[in-house]
Amino acid sequence: MADFMRPTLDSDLLRTFVAIAETGNFTKAAEQAGRTQSAVSMQMKKLEDLIGASLFERGSRGVALTRRGGELIVNARRIVSLLDETSASMAAAPLGGPVRIGIPEEYGHAILSRALGAFSKRHTQVEVTVRYAHSGAQMAALAAGELDLCVVFEWQDPAGGEVLMHDPTVWVTSSLHHMHEEQPVPIALYNRAGWCKDFAIKSLEQRDLAYRVAYTSDTTGGLKLAVTSGLAIAPISRSNIPDGCRELTTADGFGAIDSSNVVMHRNPNASGEAIDGMQDAIREAFVNRLSQPAASS
């Protein structure tokens, strides 16, 4: 029977493992956990003995996951996240009531799904309404009392909002199609007038780059489609560059279009624990995204 027994993985070991993987450093992980570096090293030695394989490769800049470590990290993150959600749900009293959110389409999957996933498990009685729209429309809806919270792009100093992350808009091209090498360069833009469209064209004119509008769309998804299919280059926020595409830098003759911040605003007349909780969940979702290594593009 002993031959068929599986190793029992301690959640505390997995939590430390995740911390090391995300910081790339035993010392930083030890500081986060409030332990000594030697204690953290002993934990990882125990975990490696249980797994039967090395989990980290040490280098001059810290540590990186081995192949086996890369296999473990996916489930380890899931387990730690589930434990955190369970602990929070047990500690917090369930909330109820409506919450109305406005958020850019770019963050619907990466951010809002994370925030809603954690929040809805704790507070099943909260009715959440989400509006996807551009920043100008979101701010207008907030001022009209139609939204409780909204997340917007702002390219100037934020007025009264909470900066969640810095996410400049950049020109993006397909790594396969190289449309930026064409003359005039074909570009994709939003249908609507607005700061992104104005800044995008201005950035080309400042560099004396000849262009033609080859594609227009109401949504960021449409711009991404134009780039990935090889129709045009497009202005896309840096954190949302699609797979198989890359940012066009000054080395390519382009450069950043703006220096946008992602800012969360709250309706000053909106009150209630449900709104407080959702605001915290959105903030936490952005923090978690920033703490994770950026995906290669």
pLDDT tens track for 233-276? 999 999 889 889 999 999 999 988 888 889 999 999 988 888 88
Farthest CA pair distance, the chain: 75
Between strands 162-166 and 261-266, the pairing is: antiparallel
**By C-alpha distance, which of 227, 243, 240 is closest to 297?**
243
pLDDT tops 90 at residue 186: yes
pLDDT tens track for 191-205? 876 666 788 999 999
Q: Which residue has the higher pLDDT, 10 or 173?
A: 173
Residue-level pLDDT at 91: 60
Report the alpha-carbon angle 50-56-62, nearest 5.
Answer: 145
Q: Please enumerate in sequence order all residues whose Cβ is within 8 A of that of 293, keeping only pairs 6 or more positions apart, or say none.
A: 22
Joined together, the tokens standing for residue 261 give 């911040």
